[in-house]
Every structure is written in C-alpha cells, then in structure tokens.
Chain A
Amino acid sequence: MQQENNVMGDFLKDLMQKGKREDGRTAMDYRNIAIRTNVMPNAEGSAEVTMGHTKVLAGVKVGLGAPMRDKPNEGNLMTAAELLPLASRYYEPGPPSPDAVELARVIDRGIRAANVIDMEALFVEPEKVWEVFIDIYILNYHGNLFDAGTLAATAALKSARMPKAEKVGEEITVIREGNLGKLKTKNVVTSCTFGKLFGTPILDPDGNEESFMDARVTIANDENVVRAMQKGLGGSFSTKELDELLDVAFEKSKGMRNMISNAAGE
C-alpha cells in the first residue's frame, strides 16, 4: 500500500518495532479520559468526553412517540452520530457517511444489548411511549470515536432527567422543566477499541495510528458479559489475539464504569 512510503507511517512502524507509541503509551494504555455531564442543560441529558485530543459530545432528548410494532410495551431508542466538519479537515458536510452510520450503530447496539435504559419504564399508554434520542457530536477527531462515543452516550443517559407527561382530556403535554426525576437506567456499558498497527494490537488508537492500522475491533461489555462487538477494516485478528483482547476489555472497563458513576453523580 501507498502508506508504506508515508513518513508518519514509517515513524509509527519504527516506534512499534521498539514497543513504543508516539505519545509514550504502552500498547494497552488509554489516553487521559475526562467526562463532564450536564454540559448542555437544555437537553435532558448531556456529556462531553475527552480522550486525549478526541472530543465528543452526547446529547439526550426524550419525547413522545409511537412504539415499534414488535415492542408495543417498550419505549424507543434512536442513536445518531455526526462527524461534524469542524472536527476534522477530512470531514465534509452532507448526509451521514458510512463511518458515521457504523459508529452510531455500534454504540446503539452496546447500549441496547446491555439494557442500559429501562425500556419498559418508557411505556406511557397504548400506542404512546417515550422516545430517547442520543445524538453523538464529534467535536474534535483524534481517533477512537467508538469508546469516546459510548462513554459520552452512557454518561449522558445516566445523568439524564425524565420529562413528565400530563394528560388533560385527550391532550398530552410534556413537562420538561421543574422538579423531575431521572431517566430510569438498569446497567452501564463501556467499550474498548483495539487497532492492529503493523501486526501489533494496541488499545485506544489515536488519529495518527488509525490512519495506518489495518484492523480494528470494538468490544462493548458490562461487568459480566460482552454485549456487542464489531470488527472493522480489511485486516484480521487471530482467535488467540481476540481472546487476549477480551481479557483487556474486561480489565479496562472497570475504571471506565467508575468514571461514569462519578460523572453522573452517583
């Protein structure tokens, strides 16, 4: 591939062969992570996550809608991701790119499969349920949007308030301000994303590493089980590698779950 000739690629390859990374991390280290919740108080929930130079904002809105045909007693969850053109020179305005769609769907699957939201608590009356919208806004791209996005989305959900529906006659009004309870959550999910850079698996690839890695795998788990996985790019992982990465994911997720609890004020 052409990337072989690239100066940055050669530099990263050289480092990798010495077991080093550009920012001094070892292969299985995260960059510094910070979570701030309720940064956009107009939204029912919000959280900003920085992971190194990656900056992601998740906003949660809750509104009334119709249930899905196959789940008439549960609320709806809709997750979208926006690769804002202000986040990178290479992002362009327009409809969601395949990358943005994949990002949103992988984050959505983790949250859904781990039952982060109590979906049955979102039932209002027949044909009327609460809908939860998660919008993941990428503000600055520098790699590993999957983990930063999952953290932001989960922290925003855990700190979200729950509007009230008041029915007068046939008309339902939504009350979004004042004394409100919290959105009912049941679980916490986090994800760990690994890249394969010149043959070596690394945790939390940054923007430069992502340009040269040839495989990626995201593992979303809670305390006990894996809830979602996604392998990406053209390269591959061996079964042995995946086995080791699963151990790392369970180990690393403990700290992230604590960070979410702290950020959500639990």
Chain B
Amino acid sequence: MGGGEKPELFKDGKRLDGRGPEDLREIKIIPDYIKNADGSAYIEWGNNKIIAAVYGPQEALPKHVQDPQRAIIKCRYQMAPFSSLEEHGRTGPNRRATEISKVTKEVFENAVLLDYFPGSEINLYIEVLQGDGGTRAAGITVASVAMALSGIPMRDLPYSVSVGKVGDKLILDLNKIEDNYSDADMPIAMSPKSNDIVLLQMDGNLTKEEIKQGLIMVQKAGETISRIQREAIKAPYERIAERYKK
C-alpha cells in the first residue's frame, strides 16, 4: 500500500488517467522479439513494458526433476531494478516475484499439452523492464503469445487482467497508483474457450456480488485482449504469406 496522501482515484465517472471504470489501457504486442528464443513477444500494456520468452521443450535437468509422464514448466518472473519510477530495486527473486512465478507457471500447466513431452522442461521467462501496475496480468498475457509462437501445443490461450475497487466502484485493469490506493485488487487469468479461471488472487475487500460482477468485467475485456493476442500470433505468418503473394 502506498504512503502519503490518498489521491482521488475516481471523479465524475473518470479515473486519474481519464479512463472509464471498464476501460483497458492501450495494449500492443510485438511478436518474435527475442531472436534466440523458441517463442517470444514484447508487450506494452499502458506503461508496462514486458518481454516473455520460451525455451523448450528440452531435456529436464537436473534429472531428478524429470516427470516420465509429462513435461514440467519452469517459470521465472522478474522485475528489472530500473523498472519503477522510485528507488533502484534489488536484483534477483524476492518473495513477491517467487509467488508470481509460481502462479504463472500454474496457468501454463493448465494451458500447455504437457503429456506430449515426457521428461522435458519448458522454460518461460518474463522480464518486466518497466512496471506500472498489473505486471503479472500483462506478463501472463504476453507469455501466452510467446508460448503459442514457440509451437508448443496448447489447449487454449489464457489471458489475464485485474479488477479492483475504489470506494464502492469496480474498476478494470488497475495501474500502479490505483493498485497502491484501491480498496481491493483481484488479478484473474481466464481460459477463453471454456471461461475457466486459471489464476485468481485477491486482497482487500469484495462482496460476493462484486466478485461476480468483476468476473463479468474480466470476460468482457477478455474479448479485446484475446483478439490482440491472436493478431500478434498471426502477424509473423501473415507477413510471410504477404511476401509469397507477390
């Protein structure tokens, strides 16, 4: 939670950055951002700037972590020490990053067809170069694109966004200031085909009704997010198709 005086987050139906309660920030995804990776993408989600890259499947090492039935996923989410407007951060995993890495890994354990690759590991790296609230959601969203571009078979393309509450008003896609001062924050990741929840975290206070309402808001925003994800995945192939049309 932020220190100092609490700013007025919601005024005359508008948020500090001019958005309405259910507006997403602008999202832009650049596919194939890291040349060495098997799949990668870069996302700008508002002021968040994040890279996701996938290496694998490859032999899981050390050997004792291998699962003879299916692939394992190793995920590392990390924030760059220069990613925030505040003080220089500390390098390496902290408790927050460790937890986010774990829940992100679990999202992809759901989405990836792991039993195609027994004994293998799939490495997913998410590097937050600049953060402005909602980095785990943006990270999962861009990681989906990176995973799909790596060619690893998936049963669905998960997306993620958070819902929060200011006073008694629900707002979608919290930025950093809203995240610091809101009354509740609930990051959610969904599998769009089934509308199953694959990540759910929450802190603050929400009534049962508000949670229900929040989930509807997420699914509505999900249509936009999914469309941007699919366009990013298709883009490199469309460029190739364009070249061969001539």
Q: Which residues of A contact B (CB under 8 A)?
A: 39-43, 46, 53, 55, 57, 59-61, 63, 80, 82, 84-89, 93, 95, 131, 133, 135, 137, 139-142, 176-177
Contact = CB atoms under 8 A, between A and B. Distances in A.
A156 to B, nearest CB: 9
Contacts of B49: 39-40
Given A53-B35, A59-B80, A84 B130 contact: no
B55 A89 contact: yes
Contacts of B86: 176
Interface majority SS (helix, strand, loop, mixed), chain B: loop
B36 interface: yes
Contacts of B47: 41-42
Contact of B81 (A55, A93, A133): A133
A43 B82 contact: yes
Contacts of B130: 40-43
Interface in B12-48: 34-37, 40, 47
B76 interface: yes
23 contacts: A39-B49, A40-B82, A41-B47, A41-B130, A42-B85, A42-B130, A59-B81, A63-B87, A82-B91, A84-B125, A85-B55, A85-B125, A86-B37, A86-B51, A86-B55, A87-B36, A88-B36, A95-B92, A139-B51, A140-B35, A142-B36, A176-B85, A177-B85
Contacts of A43: 82-83, 130
B92 A42 contact: no
Given A135-B82, A137-B127, 14 more contacts: A40-B82, A42-B85, A53-B35, A59-B129, A61-B87, A80-B81, A80-B91, A86-B53, A89-B55, A131-B88, A133-B88, A140-B34, A142-B36, A177-B85
A137 B55 CA distance: 18
A53 B51 CA distance: 16
Contacts of B226: none
Interface of B: 34-37, 40, 47, 49, 51-53, 55, 58, 76, 80-88, 91-92, 123, 125, 127, 129-132
Closest 6 CB pairs of A and B: A59-B82, A86-B53, A61-B88, A86-B125, A43-B82, A133-B88
Nearest to B85: A42
